């Protein structure tokens, strides 16, 4: 009696201990089912990527479970028929298996084939797009090379032709009193050729660049100092507005050449246009995010026409009678070597002149001061 009682107690204890585990299993299955139902009811537009992937996984799993349930039910009917009534069993298996085979194909093989076809089509379109883009770039490069070759031939052939003509005239009359003037003009033309070739070599070659923290204010102050005599002589006023410590990572000498080229262009334009009160304003600062610095060089001349704005950075394009047309292309090359860019900005409503804007990545760990430093030259 005691043994039976002990056995009954132990059985009850095992039942009690196994009951919570079954309850937790049922609760887990119910929770997963509710989660799947809630995901199925959720609008895909409001799902995150993880929720959308989970919903697709639940749907695929449900479809596979339903498929194998139908296979099991068909097997329960077809297998006994195949054993006892083979012909009827074959017909039942064939007729019932066709929709199941179609469903299995849609679940297991159609997604793979679809992905494969999509990948192949994307690859074809990408290859076609890349080929078209490459052909367009090759055509543009060929046209640019043709324009550059024509410009080089023009810049070199014309002065040499003029010098050759002058030397021929000197040979026809060696004792002429005009030979000295002919020789001077011929030398000037040959110096123009030499200058064009020197600028072209500078434009074509890659220059070594030092990398150091550089204050753009110091760079432009140094460039302005080189023009002190000219600004005083021609009455050009240079105003500086430096908003804080504008620091970049780069080569101070190359950046100084950029500043000199832009200032020289602005002064040439102001003098050629005979502006009554010529002035150049240099301002600099950083963007709101503190990731980039900018410099604006603005003059109060008559500005550029549309053609000049479109072609000003093309090699050998110039509106100056004695220019080489390589100053601004070299300037842009130096700016881009410092991971920056240069552009021409609109002067604004009611204003005139030309404004160049330089933008560079800000040097890391550069301080920022709110002091505004103003000054003048000339």
Give tens-digit pLDDT for 231-289: 999 999 999 999 888 899 999 999 999 999 999 999 988 988 888 889 999 999 999 88
- For CA atoms 23, 28, 33, 38, the dihedral sign is positive
Q: Return the SS3 of 170.
A: helix
Neighbours of 335 (CB within 10 A): 23
pLDDT for residue 245: 82
- Of residues 27 and 82, more confidently modeled: 82
How confident is residue 109, by pLDDT bands cut at 50, 70 and 90? confident
pLDDT for residue 361: 94
Q: How far apart are CA 47 and CA 44, in angstroms?
A: 5
* Of 286, 264, 265, the residue nearest 217 (C-alpha): 286
Q: Kindly report the CATH number that applies to the domain delimited by 42-205.
A: 1.10.287.130
pLDDT for residue 80: 86
E strand residue ranges, the chain: 212-215, 237-243, 247-250, 279-286, 292-299, 341-345, 355-361, 372-377
Q: How far apart are CA 330 and CA 200, in angstroms?
A: 9
**Minimum mean pLDDT range among 39-53, 92-106, 126-140:** 39-53
Q: Tell me the backbone φ, ψ of residue 222, rounded to 5 degrees.
A: -65, -40
pLDDT tens digit sequence for 9-47: 444 444 444 555 566 656 666 656 655 555 455 555 556
Average pLDDT over residues 103-126: 80
Burial of 245 (0-12, 13-18, 19+ CB in 10 A): middle
In total, the chain counts a number of residues equal to: 378
| pTM across the whole model | 0.51
How confident is residue 75, by pLDDT bands cut at 50, 70 and 90? confident
Query: What is the fold, at CATH topology level, of the domain defined by 212-377?
Result: Heat Shock Protein 90 (3.30.565)
- pLDDT over 80 at 333, yes or no: yes
- pLDDT over 60 at 378, yes or no: no
CA angle 136, 119, 131 (to 5 degrees): 10
Q: Tell me the backbone φ, ψ of residue 293, rounded to 5 degrees.
A: -120, 155
How confident is residue 107, by pLDDT bands cut at 50, 70 and 90? confident
Average pLDDT over residues 327-346: 89
pLDDT for residue 37: 56
User: Range(s) for CATH 1.10.287.130 in the chain?
Assistant: 42-205
Q: Return the SS3 of 361.
A: strand
- For CA atoms 267, 228, 313, 199, the dihedral sign is positive
User: Range(s) for CATH 3.30.565.10 in the chain?
Assistant: 212-377
């Amino acid at each position: 009696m005691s043994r039976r009682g002990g056995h009954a107690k132990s059985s009850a204890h095992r039942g009690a201990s196994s009951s919570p585990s079954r309850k937790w299993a049922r609760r887990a299955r119910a929770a997963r089912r509710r989660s799947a139902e809630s995901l199925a009811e959720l609008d895909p537009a409001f799902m995150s990527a993880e929720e959308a992937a989970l919903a697709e996984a639940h749907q695929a799993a449900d479809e596979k479970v339903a498929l194998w349930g139908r296979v099991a039910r068909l097997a329960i009917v077809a297998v006994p028929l195949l054993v006892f009534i083979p012909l009827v069993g074959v017909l039942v298996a064939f007729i019932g298996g066709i929709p199941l085979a179609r469903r299995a194909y849609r679940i297991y093989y159609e997604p793979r084939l679809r992905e494969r076809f999509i990948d192949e089509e994307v690859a074809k379109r990408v290859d076609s797009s890349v080929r078209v883009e490459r052909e367009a770039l090759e055509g543009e490069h060929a046209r640019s090379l043709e324009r550059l070759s024509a410009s080089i031939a023009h810049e070199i052939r014309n002065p040499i032709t003029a010098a050759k003509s002058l030397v021929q005239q000197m040979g026809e009359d060696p004792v002429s009193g005009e030979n000295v003037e002919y020789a001077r003009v011929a030398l000037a033309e040959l110096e123009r050729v030499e200058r064009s070739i020197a600028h072209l070599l500078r434009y074509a070659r890659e220059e070594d660049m030092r990398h150091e923290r550089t204050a753009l204010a110091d760079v432009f102050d140094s460039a302005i100092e080189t023009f002190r005599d000219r600004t005083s002589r021609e009455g050009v006023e240079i105003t500086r507005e430096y908003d804080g410590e504008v620091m970049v990572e780069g080569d101070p000498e190359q950046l100084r050449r950029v500043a000199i080229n832009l200032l020289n262009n602005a002064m040439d334009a102001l003098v050629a246009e005979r502006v009554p009160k010529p002035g150049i304003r240099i301002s600099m600062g950083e963007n709101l995010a503190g990731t980039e610095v900018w410099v604006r060089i603005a003059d109060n001349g008559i500005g550029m026409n549309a053609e000049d704005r479109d072609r000003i950075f093309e090699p050998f394009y110039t509106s100056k009678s004695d220019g080489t047309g390589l100053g601004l292309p070299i300037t842009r090359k130096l700016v881009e070597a410092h991971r920056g860019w240069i552009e021409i900005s609109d002067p604004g409503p009611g204003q005139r002149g030309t404004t160049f804007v330089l933008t560079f990545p800000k040097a890391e760990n550069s301080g920022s001061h709110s002091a505004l430093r103003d000054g003048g030259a000339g």
